[in-house]
């Protein structure tokens, strides 16, 4: 393959080198990435500079190495570099740096950069076998993996300590393959038809007033965007939001819970997956007014409410072949309430998230959730940007088995 048609051509890679005995292997990796056509910017931890001087990496990468958070010239580099990077590769990654990344410590360039990262992160640990097997280190690797990082596991073999074990930095070709894989657009949802609901619903009290909630729609829109990017046909049934419909997604705007039910039910047979990310209002005014209620017409009487239709329950009764994924927004007892909803509505997966308070899922660009599936332990996903969370959730949805009761209709949802 020539450099021009290599998947790495024109990609901007940040190579973060930390203080492991395997630092010298990062030189080979840098050369391989450059040969593949990538532009590589190297950052080094202070410990790494004790093993190999920055000069080596500067000469081979053709650009200055960033290692000091406070040196004037590199001020704010941690922000400007991440804004344009396609991937951050940490190789070799020490046990110390793995812990810092998992905990979000920001006392050096790499830690600070990792907290502003918009691109995938590939982490290649290298350490003594006993260190790698330690539950704390394994826990940190799992935390980062749950947050969407790719961990390229160390290899088994003779170690610097003279012992034999799993701890050697993965071979540069293995690291390159992992980097190429994250940079390649994934098309693993090709052939799938995904029906997503998003945003709040609005129930009128009179023509100018309504009952609604604070859902921004960002999570549902992120899932629609991610599924379309990964090859799925996507229909997004959305309550009123400020968001633009993602490219390649068919937008069906609705207002009330009833509208949303009708729009989803009409396309349910078409779909292979339903993702119910909308925050559907549970109540509506029993007798909404046809005319605006004037201030002086109101004598203090209470607003009579009634329940809106339960969309998931209604669709669950019509289900043939679809994967069904629900969301639960809870202020307390997240897992307990989520498990009950999962069971009651016969879902394949339920994503429970916290609303209310500072970390509320509503309106935030990032979210931390707990994924519940039947017969499995709750699986938490730590706080990540919603777009990244969407990809992690799609990975999990893909593994849900679809019942072969009937084939989905091939009709387009609007035909």
The contact set with ligand FMN (CB under 6 A) reads 18-22, 45, 47-48, 94-97, 126-127, 131
**Closest to ligand FMN by CB, 95 or 261:** 95
Q: From 91, 49, 89, 52, select the one nearest 68 (Cα to Cα).
A: 49
Sign of the torsion formed by the C-alpha atoms of 374, 379, 380 and 385: negative
User: Whole-angstrom Cα distance, residue 41 to residue 85?
Assistant: 9
Taking alpha carbons only, the member of 407, 409, 364 closest to residue 383 is 364
By beta-carbon proximity to ligand FMN, the closer residue of 25 and 202 is 25
Cβ-based nearer residue to ligand FMN, 41 or 267 = 41
Shortest Å, Cβ 125 to ligand FMN: 7
Beta strands in 288-389 (DSSP E): 305-307, 323-330, 349-354, 366-372, 379-385
In the complex, what is the shortest distance from the CB of residue 394 to ligand FMN, in angstroms, rounded to a whole number? Answer: 32
Q: How does DSSP assign 169-201, residue by residue?
A: PPPHHHHHHHHHHHHSPP-TTTT-EEEEEESB-
Residue number with CB closer to ligand FMN (93 or 325): 93
Q: How far is the CB of 271 from ligand FMN (least distance, A)?
A: 47
For ligand FMN, which is the closer residue by CB, 22 or 334? 22
**Sign (positive or negative) of CA dihedral 43, 44, 45, 46:** negative
CA atoms of 36 and 2, how far apart (whole Å): 8
| Catalytic positions | 213
From the list 313, 251, 318, the residue with the least C-alpha distance to 282 is 313
* Angle, in degrees to the nearest 10, between helices 135-146 and 95-103: 50
CB of residue 320 to ligand FMN, shortest distance in Å: 52
Question: Closest distance between ligand FMN and the C-beta of residue 154, in Å?
Answer: 9
Are the C-beta atoms of 295 and 245 separated by less than 8 Å? no
Cis peptide before 105 (omega within 30 of 0): no
Query: Minimum CB separation from ligand FMN for residue 83, in Å?
Result: 23
CB of 60 to ligand FMN, least distance (A): 19
Q: Which is nearer to ligand FMN, 160 or 303 (CB)?
A: 160
Strand arrangement, sheet containing 121-125? 39-44, 12-17, 87-93, 121-125, 150-151
Q: Which helix (DSSP H) or strand (DSSP E) does residue 124 occupy?
A: strand 121-125
* Residue 249 host element (H or E): strand 249-253
Terminal C-alpha separation, the chain = 44
**In terms of CB distance, is 26 or 334 closer to ligand FMN?**
26
């Amino acid at each position: 393959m020539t450099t021009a048609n290599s998947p790495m051509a024109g990609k901007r890679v940040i190579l973060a080198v930390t203080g492991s005995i395997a630092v010298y292997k990062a030189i080979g990796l840098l050369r391989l990435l450059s040969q593949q056509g990538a532009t590589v910017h190297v950052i080094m931890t202070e410990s790494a500079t004790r093993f190999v001087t920055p000069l080596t990496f500067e000469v081979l990468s053709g650009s200055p190495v960033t290692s000091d958070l406070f040196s004037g010239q590199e001020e704010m580099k941690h922000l400007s570099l991440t804004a344009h990077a396609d991937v951050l590769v940490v190789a070799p990654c020490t046990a110390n740096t793995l812990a810092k990344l998992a905990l979000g410590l920001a006392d050096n360039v790499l830690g600070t950069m990792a907290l502003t990262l918009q691109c995938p992160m590939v982490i290649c640990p290298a350490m003594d076998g006993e260190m790698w097997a330690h539950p704390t280190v394994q826990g940190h690797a799992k935390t980062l993996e749950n947050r969407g990082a790719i961990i390229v596991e160390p290899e088994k073999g003779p170690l610097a300590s003279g012992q034999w074990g799993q701890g050697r930095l993965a071979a540069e070709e293995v690291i390159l393959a992992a980097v190429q894989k994250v940079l390649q657009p994934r098309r693993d949802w090709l052939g799938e038809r995904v029906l997503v609901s998003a945003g709040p619903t609005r129930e009128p009290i009179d023509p100018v007033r309504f009952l609604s909630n604070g859902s921004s729609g960002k999570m549902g829109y992120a899932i629609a965007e991610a599924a379309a990017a990964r090859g799925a046909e996507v229909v997004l049934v959305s309550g009123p939001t400020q968001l633009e419909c993602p490219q390649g997604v068919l937008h069906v705007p609705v207002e009330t819970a009833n509208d949303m039910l009708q729009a989803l039910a009409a396309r349910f047979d078409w779909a292979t997956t339903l993702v119910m990310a909308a925050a559907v209002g549970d109540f509506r005014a029993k007798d909404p007014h046809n005319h605006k209620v004037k201030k002086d017409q109101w004598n203090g009487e209470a607003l009579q409410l009634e329940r809106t239709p339960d969309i998931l329950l209604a669709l669950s009764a019509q289900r043939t072949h679809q994967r069904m994924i629900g969301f639960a927004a809870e202020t307390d007892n997240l897992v307990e309430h989520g498990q009950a909803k999962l069971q009651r509505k016969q879902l394949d997966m339920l994503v429970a998230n916290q609303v209310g308070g500072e970390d509320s899922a509503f309106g935030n660009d990032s979210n931390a959730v707990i994924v519940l599936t039947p017969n499995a332990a709750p699986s938490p996903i730590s706080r990540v940007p919603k777009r990244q969370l969407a990809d992690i959730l799609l990975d999990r949805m893909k593994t849900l088995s679809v019942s072969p009761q009937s084939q989905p209709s091939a009709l387009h949802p609007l035909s």
